[in-house]
């Protein structure tokens, strides 16, 4: 494993067994990290060991095995809380960022909103941070107001600030980092501005936690969500951070076992705390995998991750600067290592197909951001997204294959 003194992507690659497989018979170059990350052996083994040695249902088990599972589940929540700089009493496990945003919309926002209240979103949001709000707007009569994205991929701060100061604005839900543009929103400043006007802030951190060390006490947002699978952990586990003072008054999102105090046909009472939002058997192995991914990340210096991924992005730009008609979408200073682009006259899907034949995994389409695609004037774009295990060799193979593909298709 790497340590913070010697950040070495080649060394990190050795921790990720899948990276040595082939894709269409060529060594795999995995550049679809914004869709999902690969998993280190330690995470794979933690999940495997859970099923080999610890599997049993959590809560109310009176035998040793069940106590072990319960302890693992509890300590996973503690690991997540500590890593985010919060308390375990503020960490709810979900299936992922999508379920997290739905939970917040239903349990927190729906009871709060009345007709004419405003929910602020931005033009760069993922569908997961749009559709749940449309559902809540429908049921409450609240209105959705959208902050535009400027040409460089940054937010129109003037409009955002104006909206935050509107008397009917009660909620802002915004991504930390855009999965398309790579824009990193100045969320600490935005949270500060929002709070001056009593606006509650929900942050979609799906794309920030894999690239930045996030401290939620410092950011001081009201809610924060992310998915384990983009953070080197298994699919099917995610996290909602909810500020304690808000969590305490939220209504349950789903009913069932493990979220109740007493059940009877004349009336049921709910349990308190985070368990009120975790109806049914939880994803224990997922939580254990997530905690293990966090332990893995603790050995890595995020300043170096950031510098490395930005270096890969910069090199990509340099190598591709002479490709005719290539436009990068999202060019704001300090953006994350996401290279989203189009080439005039070439369909992104055709590019991706030729790249795939060379072993290179990229993503094309709307990236679950159709409103943003509309803003950019494309129905689809191509995207290469970098992670801790990508190397200069990956960038070189991507760029030379892309140039060949552009020549063939252009």
Q: Is 239 in the site for ligand PLP (CB under 6 A)?
A: no
Q: Which is nearer to ligand PLP, 122 or 401 (CB)?
A: 122
Interatomic CA distance for residues 37 and 30, integer angstroms: 9
Residue 270 to residues 5, 104, 248, 279: CA-CA distances in angstroms? 49, 18, 12, 10
Contact 121, 133 (CB under 8 A): yes
Of the residues 33, 37, 86, 98, which one makes contact with ligand PLP according to CB under 6 A: 98
Within 27-176, where are the H helices? 41-49, 64-84, 97-103, 110-112, 131-140, 157-164
- Rounded to a whole number of angstroms, the minimum distance from the CB of residue 54 to ligand PLP is 25
- Rounded to a whole number of angstroms, the minimum distance from the CB of residue 21 to ligand PLP is 23
Q: Which is nearer to ligand PLP, 32 or 292 (CB)?
A: 32
- Rounded to a whole number of angstroms, the minimum distance from the CB of residue 34 to ligand PLP is 6
Q: Is 175 in the site for ligand PLP (CB under 6 A)?
A: yes
- Rounded to a whole number of angstroms, the minimum distance from the CB of residue 202 to ligand PLP is 11
Residue with tokens 């495997």: 48
Computed from CA positions of residues 365, 369, 374, 376, in that sequence, does the dihedral angle turn out positive or negative?
negative
The site map against ligand PLP for 178-217 (x = CB under 6 A) is -x------------------------x-xx----------
Mapped onto helix, strand or coil, the DSSP state of residue 284 is helix
Residues 13-52 that bind ligand PLP (CB under 6 A): 34
The site map against ligand PLP for 135-174 (x = CB under 6 A) is ----------------------------------------
Residues 77-96 that bind ligand PLP (CB under 6 A): 96
- Catalytic residue chosen out of the listed positions 175, 221, 340, 368: 368
Q: Which is nearer to ligand PLP, 96 or 348 (CB)?
A: 96
- Rounded to a whole number of angstroms, the minimum distance from the CB of residue 62 to ligand PLP is 35
Active site (annotated) includes residue 221: no
- Residue 98, C-beta contacts closer than 8 angstroms, at least 6 positions apart: 128, 227, 238
Q: Which is nearer to ligand PLP, 97 or 171 (CB)?
A: 97
- Rounded to a whole number of angstroms, the minimum distance from the CB of residue 98 to ligand PLP is 3
Radius of gyration, alpha carbons of the chain: 22
Q: Is 126 in the site for ligand PLP (CB under 6 A)?
A: yes
Buried b (16+ CB within 10 A) or exposed e, 143-181: eebbbebeeebbbebebbeebbeeeebbbbbbbbbbbbb
Residue 386 to residues 33, 35, 136, 367: CA-CA distances in angstroms? 6, 11, 34, 15
Q: Which is nearer to ligand PLP, 227 or 285 (CB)?
A: 227
Under DSSP, the state recorded for 388 is T
Among 327, 321, 329, smallest CA distance to 344 is for 327
Of all helices (H) and strands (E), which one includes residue 364?
strand 363-365
Task: Kindly list the catalytic residues.
Answer: 368
Give me the residues that bind ligand PLP (CB under 6 A), please: 34, 96-98, 126, 128-129, 175, 179, 204, 206-207, 227, 229-230
């Amino acid at each position: 494993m790497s340590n913070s003194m010697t950040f070495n992507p080649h060394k990190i690659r050795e921790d990720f067994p899948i990276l040595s497989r082939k894709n269409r018979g060529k060594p795999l170059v995995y550049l679809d990290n914004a869709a999902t990350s690969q998993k280190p052996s330690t995470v794979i083994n933690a999940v495997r060991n859970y099923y080999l040695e610890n599997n049993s249902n959590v809560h109310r088990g009176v035998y040793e095995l069940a106590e072990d599972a319960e302890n693992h589940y509890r300590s996973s929540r503690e690991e997540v809380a500590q890593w985010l700089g919060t308390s375990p009493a503020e960490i709810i496990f979900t299936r992922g960022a999508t379920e997290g945003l739905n939970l917040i919309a239903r349990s927190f926002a729906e009871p709060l909103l009345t007709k004419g209240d405003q929910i602020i979103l931005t033009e760069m949001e993922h569908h997961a941070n749009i559709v749940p709000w449309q559902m809540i707007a429908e049921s409450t009569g609240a209105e959705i107001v959208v902050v535009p994205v400027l040409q460089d991929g940054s937010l129109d701060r003037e409009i955002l600030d104006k909206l935050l100061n509107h008397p009917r604005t009660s909620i802002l839900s915004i991504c930390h980092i855009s999965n398309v543009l790579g824009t990193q929103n100045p969320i600490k400043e935005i949270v500060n501005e929002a709070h001056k006007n009593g606006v509650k802030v929900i942050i979609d951190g799906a794309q920030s936690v894999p690239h930045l060390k996030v401290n939620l006490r410092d950011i001081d947002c009201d809610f924060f969500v992310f998915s384990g699978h983009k953070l080197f952990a298994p699919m099917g586990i995610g996290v909602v951070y909810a500020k304690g003072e808000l969590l305490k008054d939220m209504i349950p999102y789903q009913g069932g076992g493990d979220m109740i105090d007493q059940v009877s046909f004349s009336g049921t009472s709910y349990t308190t705390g985070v368990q009120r939002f975790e109806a049914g058997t939880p994803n224990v192995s997922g939580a254990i995998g997530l905690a293990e991914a966090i332990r893995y990340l603790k050995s890595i210096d995020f300043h170096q991750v950031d510098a490395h991924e930005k270096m890969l992005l910069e090199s990509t730009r340099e190598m591709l600067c002479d490709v005719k008609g290539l436009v990068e979408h999202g060019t704001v200073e300090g953006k994350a290592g996401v290279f989203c682009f189009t080439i005039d006259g070439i369909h992104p899907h055709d590019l991706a197909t030729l790249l795939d034949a060379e072993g290179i995994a990229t993503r094309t389409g709307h990236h679950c951001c159709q409103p943003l695609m509309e803003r950019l004037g494309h129905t689809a774009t191509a995207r290469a997204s970098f992670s801790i295990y990508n190397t200069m060799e990956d960038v070189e193979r991507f760029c030379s294959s892309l140039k060949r593909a552009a020549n063939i298709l252009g």
